[in-house]
Amino acid sequence: MSALPIAPRQLFYDGQVQSASSGKTFQTVNPSNATVLAEIHVASHADVDAAIAAADRAFHSWSQTPPIIRARILQKAAALLRERNDEIARVEALDSGKAYTETSTVDVVTGADVLEYYANLVGGGGLNGETTQLRQDAWVFTKKAPLGVCAGIGAWNYPIQIALWKSAPCLAAGNTMVYKPSEFTPLHAQTLAEVYREAGLPAGVFNIVYGAGDVGAYLTSHPTIAKVSFTGQVSTGMKVAGSAAGNMKYVTMELGGKSPLIVLPDAELENAIDGAMMANFYSTGQVCTNGTRVFVPTSMKSAFEKRLLEKMQYIRPGHLFDESTNFGPLSSAGHLEKVTAYIRHGIETDKATLLYGGLGKPQVPKELEDGFWVRPTIFTDCTDSMKIVQEEIFGPVMSILSYETVEEAVKRANTTELGLAAGIFTKDLNGAHRIIDQLQAGITWVNTWGESPAEMAVGGWKKSGVGVENGRRGIEAWVKNKSTLVEMSGEVATVFAKL
């Protein structure tokens, strides 16, 4: 048997690669052609215990390290990530199935941006507390303390970016972390751990364990873990959050969405269509914030669909490292089955009008035909009650819904248990603010879709999540507050005095 193209992955804790004791492995696969990339060693419960113990030992020293020193280490790590952007992005493309044109310009870059942002924030006094003069001889001051050992559970669609979104504020705030990547895209984790080590991060501050949901469940329920940060589907997130809350752990949950994109009657047609395509087909639709419910005025529907169909030719599946490729496969065989089942349901049961795509695979080179490819798909004449409109598909499937009045569109847009993202396209910016305020979502866009810079706090409403990531508010999820009142009068007020 020939060697696999990428070296096996063991565990990483106490600052070095460690052997797993479970004796179990799994394989990670290139989604574009279904070939095996590497063997990944699974953590046993004892291995998870060891990684958590390493993080616990490191916590006291790291939490007492001055913020400016922590900042310098994290700034160096961000610089190393940028220096190695291309090589990391190549592995990210192979592991996730995303085109290199995406991973080389988004995944590593935006993760490094968040790391740099939080390094600069804490280095510049961003974790300083507040001081209030309560009265002439009394003061109140607050301090922000790190939580302890935290668990990060990654997702498979933006592997290294999500790992950085979690570890950057966690480490900047003085916590330590045990991180479990998704079993579908695990290759980035050791690379990130080694970058942190090279930047000067002390042993035990950032640690890696591998495995499926059982490993994640053991990690997140461990009594030493103070906080759980999870990115993934709603059903799993609710279980994780319930378990964590029951043990009084802090949580941040970034879950799924079924986000509305509303094209207003005055919108610039070309911009609205470009936005809708980015909101449905970028990353092969495997983005939690995707605007998959596209509301279009009845009067504009025909023109919108005609121009949309003309632009669908610009979606180009192909070799991941071809500069013209902008559309990759789905992440796994199991996910391909799920998305295909939704497309079939839309055709056969919901009986929506299939405007483009459908069942079967797009045309790709012969050597890619075994990959997990799906056709970008558009349904129209959709209704709110259809399954494809109500449930998160997490694939390149757009549903077009027509409406008569803006008030109706907003009301229908909000009729969902999810509230991750929403957006509108319009020339009337004054009106845009009024409509955005009515949309029940934590992330909203006007005349654009999808950008999520480090400075922008993002998080879902309703069942789409708890808490936020990124921005100034994002650091608050990784600290606890201590308030102190100091009385300087020299006397203690008491009711227990002689009458």
pLDDT digits (tens, 9 = 90+) for 75-117: 999 999 999 999 999 999 999 999 999 999 999 999 999 999 9
Answer whether residue 490 is part of any domain.
no
Q: Are residues 280 and 410 in the same domain?
A: yes
Q: What are phi and psi of 128, to 5 degrees?
A: -65, 145
Q: Determine which helix (DSSP H) or strand (DSSP E) holds 305, and give its type and residue range.
A: helix 301-311
Q: Are residues 232 and 370 in the same domain?
A: no
State the Cα torsion 83-89-90-91 to the nearest 10°: 110
Written as six digits, the tokens of 464 are 């789409």
Q: Are residues 186 and 139 in the same domain?
A: yes
Contact 449, 275 (CB under 8 A): yes
Burial of residue 82 (number of CB atoms within 10 Å: 0-12, 13-18, 19+):
middle
Answer whether residue 69 is part of any domain.
yes
The pLDDT, as a whole number, for residue 348 is 98
Q: Are residues 336 and 477 in the same domain?
A: no
Contacts of 21 (CB under 8 A, 6+ apart): 44, 46, 47
The pLDDT tens digits for 461-491 are: 999 999 999 999 999 999 999 999 999 999 9
Residues designated as active site: 254
The pLDDT tens digits for 143-171 are: 999 999 999 999 999 999 999 999 999 99
For the chain, what is the mean pLDDT? 96
Separate counts of helices (H) and strands (E) for the chain = 16, 22
Q: Are residues 251 and 269 in the same domain?
A: no
Answer whether residue 491 is part of any domain.
no
pLDDT at 2 over 70: no
Q: Are residues 169 and 213 in the same domain?
A: yes
pLDDT-derived band of residue 243, with 50, 70 and 90 as boundaries?
confident
Q: Which residue has the tokens 């009385």?
A: 487
Contacts of 241 (CB under 8 A, 6+ apart): 228, 230, 251, 253, 466
pLDDT-derived band of residue 244, with 50, 70 and 90 as boundaries?
confident
The pLDDT, as a whole number, for residue 480 is 97
The pLDDT, as a whole number, for residue 114 is 98
pLDDT-derived band of residue 245, with 50, 70 and 90 as boundaries?
confident
Q: Are residues 477 and 436 in the same domain?
A: no
The pLDDT, as a whole number, for residue 1 is 44
Lowest average pLDDT, out of 208-212, 259-263, 492-496, goes to 492-496
Question: HEC string of 389-442?
Answer: HHCCCCCCEEEEEEECCHHHHHHHHCCCCEECEEEEECCCHHHHHHHHHHCCCC
Distance separating alpha carbons of residues 346 and 42, to the nearest angstrom: 38
Q: In CATH, what number is assigned to the domain containing residue 425?
A: 3.40.309.10
Distance separating alpha carbons of residues 232 and 217, to the nearest angstrom: 13
Distance separating alpha carbons of residues 41 and 238, to the nearest angstrom: 28
State the Cα torsion 247-253-256-262 to the nearest 10°: 140
Distance separating alpha carbons of residues 91 and 300, to the nearest angstrom: 43
Residue 448's closest CA among 428, 419, 422, 471? 422
Q: Are residues 320 and 363 in the same domain?
A: yes
The pLDDT, as a whole number, for residue 455 is 97
Termini Cα distance of the chain: 94
The pLDDT tens digits for 63-82 are: 999 999 999 999 999 999 99
Give the sheet arrangement for strand 479-487, strand by strand: 131-135, 138-146, 479-487
Answer whether residue 215 is part of any domain.
yes
* Tally of structural domains, the chain: 2
Q: Which residue has the tokens 């469940």?
A: 217
Answer whether residue 346 is part of any domain.
yes
Distance separating alpha carbons of residues 8 and 13, to the nearest angstrom: 16
% of residues, the chain, pLDDT over 90: 95
Q: In CATH, what number is assigned to the domain containing residue 194?
A: 3.40.605.10
Q: Which residues pair with 144 in a beta bridge?
A: 481
Q: Are residues 244 and 277 in the same domain?
A: no
Answer whether residue 46 is part of any domain.
yes
Q: Which residue has the tokens 């006397």?
A: 491
Q: Are residues 171 and 211 in the same domain?
A: yes
Predicted TM-score (pTM) of the model is 0.95
The pLDDT, as a whole number, for residue 135 is 95
Contacts of 16-24 with C-beta under 8 Å, sequence gap 24+, read 16/203, 17/190, 18/47, 18/50, 20/44, 20/47, 20/210, 21/46, 21/47, 22/47
pLDDT at 242 over 90: no
Q: Are residues 317 and 242 in the same domain?
A: no
Residues spanned by the domain of 422: 260-446
pLDDT at 246 over 90: no
The pLDDT, as a whole number, for residue 58 is 98
Q: What are phi and psi of 490, to 5 degrees?
A: 85, 0
Map residue 188 onto helix, strand or coil.
Answer: helix
Q: Are residues 242 and 269 in the same domain?
A: no
